Amino acid sequence: MADFHQQGPITTLHDLGSIGQEHLELMLREATLDYRLGLILPVTAADMRAVPFDNIVSQLRQADYIEHIVVVLGIAPEVADYQETKEKLAPLGKRAEVLWTDGSRMQSLYEELIASGFNLSIPGKGRSVWTAFGYLMADPSLKAYMLHDCDIVTYSRELLARLCLPMAHRSLDFEFCKAFYARRTDRLHGRTVRLLVWPLLRSLMTILGPDPFLTYLSSFRYPLSGEFAVSAALARSNRIPSDWGLEVGTLAEVFRNTSTKRVCQVDITSEYEHKHQDLSLEDPGKGLMRMATDILTSLFRTLASRGTVLSESHFVTLRSAYLRAAQDAIRQYHADALINGLQFDRHDEEMAIEGFADQIVLAGTAFREDPGGGESIPNWTRVLAAFPDFPERLRAVAATDAHEWYTEASGKKIESHGA
C-alpha cells in the first residue's frame, strides 16, 4: 500500500489503489472538453521498430482525451524509417503526425535558425522535445503538453491518464507535473537516481547549506523520469538542454519560471520497465557515465547561475562527501532489496558509485573551464520574437512530408492492385 506522505515544497500525488483506469479516463474526457491536450512521443528508428512502440500505439487508439499526438522521429536517416513510422501510426488517424528531424525539410528549418544564432546544432531528445513544443504551439487551443518515452515495456493507458489528469482537472491549477514510479524487476534499477542524484543532493546541502533549489530537487521521487506534463504557457518560457541534462535542466527551468505551488509529481504506475543504459565504466563518454557527467555539469551551472560560488576545493570536498553518502545509501538499498526478495549485487553498486565519484571531478573540471557552457536551446518566446510564423512552418513541413509519403504509398497500392 502506497503512503500519502507530503514532503518538500511540491505536491505528491500517490497511487493509493482506490481508483481504476475507467474512472480516471471518465474524468479526463469531461475535463478535456475545454482543456485540450497534446502528446509528444520522441522516438528513434530503433525504438520505433521495437515491441513497446507497437503496444503504445495500440493503447493510444482508445486515449480519445488526447487531441493531438506528435511523434518526433530522430536518429532516423533513411526515408524508410519515416515511411515505417507513418504506417505504424495509421491506426491513430489524423490526430497523429510525424516530425522527421532528419528529413531534408526539417533540416533546412534547423539550418535557418542556426544561421540566425540559435543553438540547435546538437541532435537528440532535447531538440526533439523543443521541436514538438513549437509544432503544438501552432494550435492555441491546446492547453498543455504531455511527454513520455517510447521504450516502456509495461506501458498502459492508465500511465498516461494519471499523467494528464493533474493538469486537466478543473479543480487543480498545476503548471507542471513530473511522473515517478518504482524502477525494479527482480532487482532495483534506477542507479543514476539512487546512487548519484540523491546522495549528491544530500552532499551539496551539507556543504553549501540550505538552498531552495536543492530542496526543490530533492523533493522529487524520480527526478530523471522521462515523463512529464507542462502547460503550453510554461513550455514557451522554458529553455531546454540538448544533452543528458534534459531532465534536471527542465526541472531547473520550471523552478525558475513558476511557483513551486504550481508543481506536482504523480505516481503513474506500479510497474515500469524500459531498456537500461550500460554502466560503461571503461568509457566515460558513453552510457551512465556520460549521463552522469551531463547531469552534474547541468546542476553545477544552474547553481552558479543562482549565485553559488563553486571553487576547486568544493569539488574535492563534494567527492568525499558524496562517496560517504552513496555508501550509506547502498547499505539502505541492500536492506530494502532483502526484505522485498530482490537480487542485490553490492559489489556492482560499489563500482557504480566509484565511477560516479570520478565523474564529479571531471564535471567539476569542465565547469571551471567553461562555467557558461552547455548552452540550452533558446525558449520559444525568443524564437517567436524573431520568427513569429515558425510553428506554422513546422506544421507545413510535417504536412508536406506526410503528403509525399501518402502519394507514394497510394501509388504502390494501385500498382500492386493492378498487378
At 198-218, the pLDDT tens digits run 999 999 999 999 999 999 999
C-alpha 188 chain-centroid distance: 21
- Helix 346-369 / helix 312-339 crossing angle, nearest 10 deg: 160
> Rounded distance, CA 384 to CA 102, Å?
23
Identify which has the larger pLDDT, 208 or 243. Answer: 208
At 84-107, the pLDDT tens digits run 999 999 999 999 999 999 999 999
Count, in order, helices (H) and strands (E) of the chain.
17, 8
Scanning 209-245, the segments in alpha helix (DSSP H) are 212-218, 232-237
Domain coordinates in residue numbering, the chain = 11-190+210-275+375-418
189 near 245, Cβ under 8 Å? no
C-alpha cell at 270: 506500479
Question: What does the pLDDT average to over 287-312?
Answer: 89
User: Residue 358: enclosing H or E segment and its boundaries?
Assistant: helix 346-369
271 near 281, Cβ under 8 Å? no
pLDDT attached to residue 285: 67
Cβ neighbours around 155 below 10 Å, total: 24
353 near 193, Cβ under 8 Å? no
296 near 217, Cβ under 8 Å? no
Least confident of 124-128, 275-279, 295-299, 388-392: 275-279
E strand segments, 275-393: none
At 33-50, the pLDDT tens digits run 999 999 999 999 999 999
- Helix 312-339 / helix 198-208 crossing angle, nearest 10 deg: 140
pLDDT attached to residue 1: 44
In CATH, the number for domain 11-190+210-275+375-418 is: 3.90.550.10
Q: Is the dihedral of CA 285, 287, 288, 294 positive or negative?
A: positive
pLDDT attached to residue 372: 72
C-alpha 101 chain-centroid distance: 18
